[in-house]
A and B are shown apart, each in its own frame.
Chain A
Amino acid sequence: MTVIHPTDPILPVAPSRLRNVMTAVRRFFRKAPLSAFWGCIAAAIVIMSVAAPVIAPYPPLKSDFRAMQKPPDEKHWFGTDQIGRDTLSRVIYGSQASLLVAFGAVLFGTTLGALWGLACGYFGGRFDMISQRLIEFLQSFPDLILAMAIAMALGGGLGTVIVAIAVTRIPFGGRVIRSVVLSLKEMQYVEAARGLGASHKRLMFRHILPQCVAPYLILATTHLGVAIVIEASLGFLGVGIPPPNPTWGNMLSDALNSGLIPPWWLVFFPGAAITLTVLAFNLLGDGIRDMLDPRLRGSV
């Protein structure tokens, strides 16, 4: 794996952190305009989900029995479903579930995995060996299947879906950060700190952890997209967040259950929302990766 040099300008330096972030963002726009553009779309989606009550033209759960299963028109831009709920509003509200789950799962899963990887790489030995076997165990299940099994065992709901997807993210964080730590551990500045009598805790958190920020960020952004797709698949299979709360996955599932021939607008718009969101996060992730560490191009 790669070594991030302490001189990299992106790594946070204690004074004037905000200014550094601003410079980094400006540099990002200049060097990778395409990724920055998709980053803006991702930001717009996040804002849309937070401001859903203001933006959405109708309440997402309110049925209008005079307008059932209407194709898109000027009153309902995305049409309505079988019981007259506005599809546009439901797609907007659906983003809340997707983003909450994606951010929550990546935050928990990747972070837990990263800390685990840090400990494995730092301590090595028997602890590392046992941990690696455990991680291989987790990895022997395709992620959607593992997430399904966990979500089903815990019963549906927002929290369980986050936990289920977070568990599938742990091995990735563990593996990547462990290999980074393995090479960092041998570097001279760490040895110097150890020579000066630094404790394990200080070595791990003061000297090694800050160098893991870049790979962690890269990993987290790439896995946001994956988490969104898994969430949608869980919803589609009926083990995600249960209806009537709209998620993109359970909207597609509802459409399929609505009869032999589902109306096209009920199928098209939620899926397009998933695609656009995942695309935006993936391309933003690509851009961040290229900027933080060009050597990783195409590998994570």
Chain B
Amino acid sequence: MVFVVMRILPGDPLVAIFGPEGMSKLTEEQRAHFMKDLGLSDPLWVQYFAWVKDILAGNFGRSFFRSESVADMILRRGPLTAEIALLSVLISWVVGIPVAILSALRPNSIADSVVRFVSILFLAVPGFWIGMLIVLGLLFWFGYRAPMAGASLFVDPVANLQLIIGPAVVLGLGQAAYIARMARSSLLEVIREDYVRTARAKGLNGRLVISLHALPNAMLPVITLSGVLMGLVLAGSIPVERAFGTPGLGYAMFTAVSERDVFVMQNLVFLYAVVFVGLNILVDLAIALLDPRIRYQ
């Protein structure tokens, strides 16, 4: 599918590399030579199988513009983006769920209205814009700027945290808005159920009823949603990493796009899709494990 999108669609990769002007300066022979060099003159199905073979062999090809192979790039930059994604999910839960409990316990109160308005606002704000504002604000008021170079979690945890905290907060708050909305409505539904009323009737205090009886059941749709939102995080990390200048995989994707680096782009898109689908399968399995009503044969 990725292959189809990137290759069969009209658009000459050579135009992308040399630009329309450079293209017109190439002779027919040079063109044929470059096409052959890149393996682009074979029939499409030959190219396709060559690509599948490469992927299966773990060979992700190299960039047109850099000597680094794509596999190296993924290994070097991937962890940073993975950390950002994980931390952002954590933030979205830590922020979203307490807020949802607050507003579900007193529906239509002032707190509830504030929470709902803020979450609607966060659904509308583009994350990369908030990112740019944060970078500017920190620079303006505190003269602070996150380090530019990549840093590993194990070698230099402080620098690493400085790099990932910004994007993770922005992406996390974006998700928190969805999480809060979903958790609120599913809590409101669960609270009306008989077993919650029973728990209350036998004299448990309100806090216990919510945290032990209502919350676990209300969490199931929230977990599912978190899986769906991974798409938002993976895709959102591209502009957000650009806004923060974080040297992660999202930034690599941005560079590939702006350099029209078709091969890198194709493989990164493929990687993102695989990760996204894989995570959703994991979420489905987790739900099946947590919810005895769901059983896969």
Instruction: List residues of chain A with CB under 8 Å of any chain B CB.
Output: 137, 140-146, 148-150, 152-155, 225, 229, 232-233, 236-239, 252, 255-256, 261-262, 264, 267-268, 270-271, 274-275, 278-279, 282-283, 286, 297-298
Contacts and interface: CB of A to CB of B under 8 A. Distances in A.
A233 B128 contact: yes
A166 to B, nearest CB: 14
A149 B10 CA distance: 13
Interface stretch (B103-111, B271-279, B288-296): B271-279
Contacts of A239: 257
A271 B273 contact: no
Nearest to B276: A142
Nearest to A238: B258
Interface stretch (B37-45, B53-61, B131-139, B208-216): B131-139
B2 interface: yes
A154 B257 contact: no
B46 to A, nearest CB: 20
B277 A149 contact: no
B126 A274 contact: yes
A106 B253 CA distance: 26
A142 B232 contact: yes
Given A140-B277, A144-B238, A152-B265, A236 B128 contact: yes
Contact of A143 (B123, B125, B235): B235
Contacts of A252: 128-129, 132
Interface string B165-188: 000000000000000011001000
Contacts, number: 126
B265 A264 contact: no
Q: Is the interface of B mostly helix, strand, loop or mixed?
A: helix
Interface string B68-100: 000000000000000000000000000000000
A238 B259 CA distance: 10
Most buried by A among B129, B262, B273: B129
14 contacts: A140-B273, A142-B231, A148-B253, A149-B5, A152-B260, A153-B9, A232-B126, A233-B239, A255-B132, A275-B124, A275-B126, A278-B125, A297-B185, A298-B182
Nearest to B186: A298
B125 A275 contact: yes
B32 interface: no
Interface string B218-243: 00000000000011101110110011
Given A141-B269, A271-B126, A275-B125, A261 B242 contact: no
A154 B10 contact: yes
A267 B132 contact: yes
Contact of A141 (B124, B132, B258, B272): B272
Contacts of B124: 225, 275, 278-279, 282
B155 interface: no
A297 B9 CA distance: 39
A216 to B, nearest CB: 21
Given A267-B133, A278-B124, 8 more contacts: A140-B1, A142-B230, A145-B238, A149-B6, A152-B262, A232-B126, A256-B242, A261-B136
B11 interface: yes
A148 B124 CA distance: 20
Contact of A150 (B9, B125, B140, B235): B9
Contact of B276 (A141, A148, A150, A274): A141
Nearest to B128: A236
